[in-house]
Amino acid sequence: MANIRPIQFPGEPLEKWLAQFMPHVSIDCVVFGFHGADLQLLLLKWKGADTWTLPGGFLGHRQSVDDAAHGVLQARTGLRRVHLRQFHAFGDLGRKEANGRRLFRKNLRDAPRRDLWLFQRVVSIGYYALVDIRKVRPTADAWTDSCAWYPAGSHPPLAYDHDRIVEGAWEALRAAIDVPGAGASLLPERFTMPELQCLHEAILGRRLDRRNFQKRMLERGGIERLQERRTGGAHRAPYLYRFTVPHAGLDF
């Protein structure tokens, strides 16, 4: 059974709290949000510092890496049952030492031992998700002042190597949307071509030509035009489409 017990703020000595985790491995979650406009990014602002980071945490001894990712995301942001995809492990030298130590210490009551693995290099396993912004309610945890959405294309600079992690996640997301049926959970069951184009534009971060987009979507298959049209708008009623391919497991 999945073990996604959230990580609690230490009410105990740091050493004892750390003992629940497998040393040197962390998880960082890149959560993109969408609802009919530009792509958003879920960021945490550290308590008492003007520093933003991704929701991250550690791997419990009795958790699989996938379970730990869900546990970390839930503990740090309140988000549950999100489809997380692992995309890359980040393990460059010096990836979090300098300002990481300073930041972490700010949030501790007592000065910790300097030889803890927490203050050495940690390899972070990156996960990403794409969620419907209307369906989630991000909530800050005890380590953070706020947990909120920022435009993915112009978010505040992030601590550690988190800007690079976001870049990697966005690249993986761009590749993932290029599969027939991808993104179904973010669209109405019967959607218009402009709605599909809007999703693709948000993920790709650029405008697309309407005619080329429609041509490409229809040519690659996995989508069908329905007899009915969407009515009620100010313009000519647009055609409705639906995906004809299963997207279970591939979708966000």
Name the nearest CA neighbour of 160 among 102, 114, 87, 105.
Answer: 102
Task: Indicate whether 174 belongs to the interface with a second copy (CB under 8 A).
Answer: no
Contact 116, 18 (CB under 8 A): yes
Q: Which of 1, 93, 111, 248 binds a second copy (CB under 8 A)?
A: 93
Cβ count near 155 (within 10 Å)? 17
Segment interacting with a second copy, rule: CB under 8 A, options 5-13, 82-90, 129-137, 190-198 = 82-90
The footprint of a second copy on this chain (CB under 8 A) covers a number of residues equal to: 24
CA distance 63 to 3: 6
Segment interacting with a second copy, rule: CB under 8 A, options 81-89, 101-109, 159-167, 184-192 = 81-89
Nearer to a second copy, 24 or 230 (CB): 24
Segment interacting with a second copy, rule: CB under 8 A, options 36-44, 97-105, 119-127, 153-161 = 119-127
List helix spans (H) across the chain. Answer: 14-18, 65-77, 97-106, 162-177, 193-204, 210-220
Task: Indicate whether 5 belongs to the interface with a second copy (CB under 8 A).
Answer: no
Neighbour-count burial for 160-172, b at 16+ CB within 10 Å, e otherwise: bbbeebbebbbeb
Task: Indicate whether 181 belongs to the interface with a second copy (CB under 8 A).
Answer: no
Residues in contact with a second copy by the rule CB under 8 A:
22-25, 59, 61-66, 68, 86, 88-93, 117, 120-121, 123, 125
